[in-house]
Chain A
Amino acid sequence: KNEVEQSPQNLTAQEGEFITINCSYSVGISALHWLQQHPGGGIVSLFMLSSGKKKHGRLIATINIQEKHSSLHITASHPRDSAVYICAVLDSIIQGAQKLVFGQGTRLTINP
């Protein structure tokens, strides 16, 4: 079983729809990242969060440490949001060191 599980693996929606991508993890973490990878391959860090909620434009990320679960929401989705969204958790392995563990990614396609 993967340490970080994302769902769904693929998601296709119409422009304007509200999108939710989920991430569940089984390891103890100090922080969680949501990354966006566009078809060109570049990776952008969207959020880093360790508790509560963060909002940036139409993107909202939440995390529940007790339930080991995070969600990424996109409001009023747009075709330019089409990308692979990757959840990554910082797994503390030894004191002072951290290992980033990735989910398998969610491929989002927003149709006009």
Chain B
Amino acid sequence: DARVTQTPRHKVTEMGQEVTMRCQPILGHNTVFWYRQTMMQGLELLAYFRNRAPLDDSGMPKDRFSAEMPDATLATLKIQPSEPRDSAVYFCASGFLLSGSLSGELFFGEGSRLTVL
């Protein structure tokens, strides 16, 4: 049963600490998205990759956030230093992008709930 795996599921940390969230996309998918969900803003796109190359990270605060795909089986989202306003649920999703359009369903991970004190 293929699924997107995210770790950690929950993270509580203090302001100023580094936080790294990891995502294992579904094997064969070439597109990975990072989203953030808060009560106030709903779901927001932070960044996404196609074939491991970053295509759009305009939704991400560049001074403290960074997203990478060191290989096809791992995507990371790092926050350094973390701030209380970063508290949210961070979702990873993967799919298959063909000729500029997602050719199938999007599959979401279960999310990483981050609390920054």
Residues on A facing B (Cβ under 8 Å): 30-31, 33, 35, 41-45, 48, 86, 88, 90, 92-93, 95-105
Q: With A95-B100, A100-B33, A100-B45 known to touch, is A41 a contact of B111 (CB < 8 Å)?
A: yes
Residues of chain B within 8 A (CB-CB) of A104 are 42
List 19 A-B pairs, Cβ < 8 Å.
Answer: A41-B110, A41-B113, A43-B108, A44-B108, A45-B105, A48-B105, A96-B50, A96-B55, A97-B56, A97-B100, A98-B97, A98-B100, A98-B101, A99-B56, A100-B33, A100-B35, A101-B45, A102-B42, A102-B44
| Interface SS, B side | strand
Quick check: A98 and B108 within 8 Å, CB to CB?
no
Quick check: A42 and B111 within 8 Å, CB to CB?
yes
Query: How long is the Cα–Cα vector from A42 to B45 in the complex, in angstroms?
Result: 17
Query: How long is the Cα–Cα vector from A92 to B113 in the complex, in angstroms?
Result: 29
Closest to B44 in A: A102
Closest to A43 in B: B108
Query: How long is the Cα–Cα vector from A35 to B91 in the complex, in angstroms?
Result: 13
Nearest Cβ in chain B — how far from A42, in angstroms?
A: 5
| B43 part of interface (Cβ distance < 8 Å) | yes
Quick check: B100 and A42 within 8 Å, CB to CB?
no
Query: How long is the Cα–Cα vector from A103 to B43 in the complex, in angstroms?
Result: 8
| B106 part of interface (Cβ distance < 8 Å) | yes
Nearest Cβ in chain A — how far from B88, in angstroms?
A: 11
Query: How long is the Cα–Cα vector from A101 to B41 in the complex, in angstroms?
Result: 12
Per-position 1/0 for B16-58, Cβ under 8 A of A: 0000000000000000010100000011110000100001100
Residues of chain B within 8 A (CB-CB) of A35 are 106, 108
Nearest Cβ in chain B — how far from A93, in angstroms?
A: 7
Query: How long is the Cα–Cα vector from A103 to B56 in the complex, in angstroms?
Result: 20
Closest to B93 in A: A43
Quick check: B113 and A45 within 8 Å, CB to CB?
no
Q: With A30-B101, A31-B102, A43-B91 known to touch, is A99 a contact of B108 (CB < 8 Å)?
A: no
Residues of chain A within 8 A (CB-CB) of B97 are 98
